[in-house]
């Protein structure tokens, strides 16, 4: 039982992704749906296509993965976090530091509960993080790490964060509502941004500390092909024709 792929499986994931980005119609991004399908294929799992915490599961191993794929500068949307009693909690957060912490704790509890629900629903013993990082220099890094286990089900600790509302910003196009920021007490850096006054998106920039060479993470990297290294459309059509003949 392990969320970690073997060296052979990592090599296969890398090989499939390299072939994908070599296709004539591929862009300089790799959609999350592609990464989910590749992981499920290599690990003999299933893509869920639901709004559950896990995106891919392997029932026999009792493991599942949350899958993310973004450009390195794009914050990960952890979830649309619709917090119970949000209106009252937001009002209280504007009155005191205690109110801020209560609202922040509710967000962290929401994240942990979402993972717990998938663990119970699918009978999982481990949930892992499958992450594709697309970099400006057109290199790609794929990482895996354990998020939680049945014996240690919480991913985050509420005591690791303090909370504050950002200032309201105005741009030339629209007014940007304040977001609730969660600052890591150990690093002093912002890990969370909850847009609870808008569409409830919860961005998690703290996952950067999971990027290699962080402890507990395994990774494999490759580069996007140059313009002359991509398969031509003609070659692709010829290849598809040969399979049908």
- Domain range for residue 62? 7-244
pLDDT at 171: 57
User: Stretch 109-113: mean pLDDT, rounded?
Assistant: 97
Residue-wise pLDDT for 176-213, tens only, equals 799 999 999 999 999 999 999 999 999 999 999 999 98
Total number of domains in the chain: 1
Domain assignment present for 70: yes
Domain assignment present for 105: yes
Residue-wise pLDDT for 145-160, tens only, equals 999 999 999 999 999 9
Lowest-pLDDT range, 80-89, 202-211, 231-240? Answer: 231-240
pLDDT at 175: 59
Domain assignment present for 1: no
Residue-wise pLDDT for 16-73, tens only, equals 999 888 888 777 789 999 999 999 999 999 999 999 999 999 999 999 999 999 999 9
Tracing tokens 């400006």 back to the chain, one arrives at 136
Q: How confident is the model at residue 225 (pLDDT cuts 50, 70, 90)?
A: confident
Domain assignment present for 90: yes
85 C-beta neighbours (distance < 10 Å), count? 10
Domain assignment present for 61: yes
Residue-wise pLDDT for 42-58, tens only, equals 999 999 999 999 999 99
Q: Residue 43 sits in a domain of what CATH number? A: 3.40.600
Domain assignment present for 37: yes
Domain assignment present for 13: yes
Q: How confident is the model at residue 173 (pLDDT cuts 50, 70, 90)?
A: low
- Full-model pTM: 0.90
What span, in angstroms and rounded, lies between the C-alpha atoms of 212 and 114? 26
What span, in angstroms and rounded, lies between the C-alpha atoms of 153 and 64? 13
Residue-wise pLDDT for 113-138, tens only, equals 999 999 999 999 999 999 999 998 88
Tell me if 120 sits within 8 A of 114, measured CB to CB.
no
pLDDT at 26: 77
Nearby residues of 3 by Cβ (< 8 Å), 6 or more positions away: 63, 64, 65, 126, 127, 128, 129, 144, 145, 146
Domain assignment present for 2: no
């Amino acid at each position: 039982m392990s969320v970690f792929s073997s060296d052979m499986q990592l090599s296969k994931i890398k090989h499939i992704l390299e072939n994908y980005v070599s296709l004539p119609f591929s862009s300089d991004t790799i959609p999350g749906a592609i990464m989910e399908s590749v992981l499920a294929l290599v690990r003999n799992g299933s893509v869920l296509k639901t709004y559950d915490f896990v995106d891919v599961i392997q029932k026999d191993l009792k493991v599942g993965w949350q899958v993310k794929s973004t450009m390195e500068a794009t914050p990960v949307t952890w979830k649309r976090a619709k917090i119970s009693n949000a209106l009252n909690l937001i009002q209280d957060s504007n009155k005191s530091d205690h109110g801020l912490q209560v609202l922040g704790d509710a967000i962290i509890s929401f994240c942990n509960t979402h993972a717990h629900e998938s663990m119970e629903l699918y009978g999982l013993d481990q949930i892992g993080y499958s992450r594709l990082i697309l970099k400006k220099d057109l290199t790609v890094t794929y990482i895996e790490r354990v998020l939680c286990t049945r014996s240690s089900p919480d991913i985050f600790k509420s005591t690791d964060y303090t909370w504050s509302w950002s200032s309201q910003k105005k741009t030339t196009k629209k007014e940007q509502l304040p977001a609730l920021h969660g600052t890591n007490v150990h690093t002093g850096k912002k890990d969370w941004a909850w847009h609870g006054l808008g569409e409830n998106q919860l961005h998690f920039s703290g996952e950067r500390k999971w990027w290699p060479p962080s402890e507990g993470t395994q990774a494999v990297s490759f580069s996007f092909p140059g313009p002359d290294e991509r398969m031509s459309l003609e070659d692709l059509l010829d290849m598809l024709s040969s399979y049908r003949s």
